[in-house]
């Protein structure tokens, strides 16, 4: 297998674009661009367009095309892309590419029969990969900001707050009650889901990633591995598989 010396790995998510530069197979630098300022990303990309790239995008077709038109050579990952795992998923065309990348990485490096990636970002995504690198499925629920926003959007008087700091269990005003409900409620959801997975799949490893994963103190057991760049690394595994 021949892999280029430098490869750009681009993960276009719901709120930001994350770009990893792999040199000789190792992740060397990571750049993050806000989706509200695509001009800055396009300016940066113009100076790196000559490198081969692989792209994961959950953006609209129009926005994805805007990102990729500046690249001289790239692969856009879809459910039809050749993968190092098998997708046992009924609606492959609706499966998010970020979830595929996460499953590829955990399925490649897990030493147990089953593995789960937990991606805590705009949404909270659990993805289960089984024996022989078969992707089985998982779950999706709202992340921190979506929970805050829904409370504000669908009520008449609840304010919109944005804090992601740790909080006490019992709030003593409206803001602190919302803060507790969202942060402690989401942590309880994640830990309960993990407990259920442990019961159903005893030979199990968890991989945790996502922009909001650091706000939860969850990596305290030997079966949990945290990596903020897991999606980028999974994307690079797909690149190698197709090189």
Token pair belonging to 42: 């396009």
Q: In the beta sheet, which residues pair with residue 126?
A: 118, 139
Which ranges of the chain does DSSP label H, i.e. alpha helix?
38-46, 61-68, 97-109, 144-153, 174-200, 230-242
* 209 neighbors 118 (Cβ within 8 angstroms): yes
Task: Please check the confidence at residue 1 and state whether its pLDDT lies above 60.
Answer: no
* 201 neighbors 171 (Cβ within 8 angstroms): no
Domains belonging to the chain, first-starting first, are: 6-76 (3.30.420.40), 86-143+179-228 (3.30.420.40)
pLDDT of residue 212: 92
Long-range residue pairs from 219-227, CB within 8 A, at least 24 positions apart, any chain: 223/112, 223/198
pLDDT digits (tens, 9 = 90+) for 63-98: 888 888 888 888 999 878 999 999 999 999 899 899
Task: Please check the confidence at residue 48 and state whether its pLDDT lies above 90.
Answer: no
pLDDT of residue 2: 53
- The answer to whether residue 98 is catalytic is yes
pTM score:
0.90
pLDDT of residue 3: 60
Which has the minimum average pLDDT: 65-69, 104-108, 130-134? 65-69
Give residue 99's pLDDT band: very low, low, confident or very high (50, 70, 90).
Answer: very high
pLDDT of residue 217: 84
Can you say how many angstroms the Cα of residue 23 is from the centroid of all Cα atoms in its chain? 22
- Residues 11, 98, 119, 127: which is the catalytic one? 98
Sign of CA dihedral 97, 123, 209, 117: negative
Task: Please check the confidence at residue 182 and state whether its pLDDT lies above 60.
Answer: yes
pLDDT digits (tens, 9 = 90+) for 216-237: 988 766 789 999 999 999 999 9
Mean pLDDT of 161-181: 96
Write the CB contacts of 37 (distance below 8 Å, at least 6 apart in sequence). none
Give residue 241's pLDDT band: very low, low, confident or very high (50, 70, 90).
Answer: very high
Which has the minimum average pLDDT: 64-68, 115-119, 192-196? 64-68
Burial class for 233, CB neighbours closer than 10 Å (0-12, 13-18, 19+): buried
Compute the mean pLDDT over every residue in the chain, rounded to the nearest whole number.
Answer: 91
């Amino acid at each position: 297998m021949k892999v280029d010396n430098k490869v750009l790995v681009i993960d276009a998510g719901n709120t930001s674009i994350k770009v990893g530069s792999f040199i000789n197979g190792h992740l060397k630098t990571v750049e993050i661009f806000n989706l509200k300022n695509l001009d800055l990303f396009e300016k940066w990309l113009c100076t790196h367009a000559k490198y081969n790239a692989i792209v994961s995008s959950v953006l609209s077709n129009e926005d994805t095309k805007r990102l990729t038109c500046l690249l001289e050579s790239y692969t856009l990952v879809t459910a039809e892309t050749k993968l190092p795992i098998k997708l046992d998923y009924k609606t492959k065309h609706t499966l998010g590419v970020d979830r595929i990348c996460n499953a590829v990485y955990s399925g490649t490096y897990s030493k147990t029969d089953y593995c789960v990636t937990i991606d805590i970002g705009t949404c909270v995504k659990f993805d289960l990969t089984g024996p022989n690198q078969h992707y089985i499925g998982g779950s999706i629920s709202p992340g921190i900001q979506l929970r805050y926003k829904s409370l504000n959007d669908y009520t008449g008087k609840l304010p919109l707050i944005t804090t992601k700091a740790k909080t006490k269990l019992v709030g003593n005003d409206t803001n602190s009650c919302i803060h507790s409900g969202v942060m402690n409620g989401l942590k309880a959801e994640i830990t309960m889901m993990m407990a259920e997975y442990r019961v159903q799949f005893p030979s199990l490893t968890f991989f945790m990633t996502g922009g909001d994963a650091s706000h939860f103190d969850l990596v305290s057991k030997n079966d949990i591995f945290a990596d903020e760049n897991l999606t980028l690394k999974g994307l690079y595994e797909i690149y190698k598989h197709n090189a």
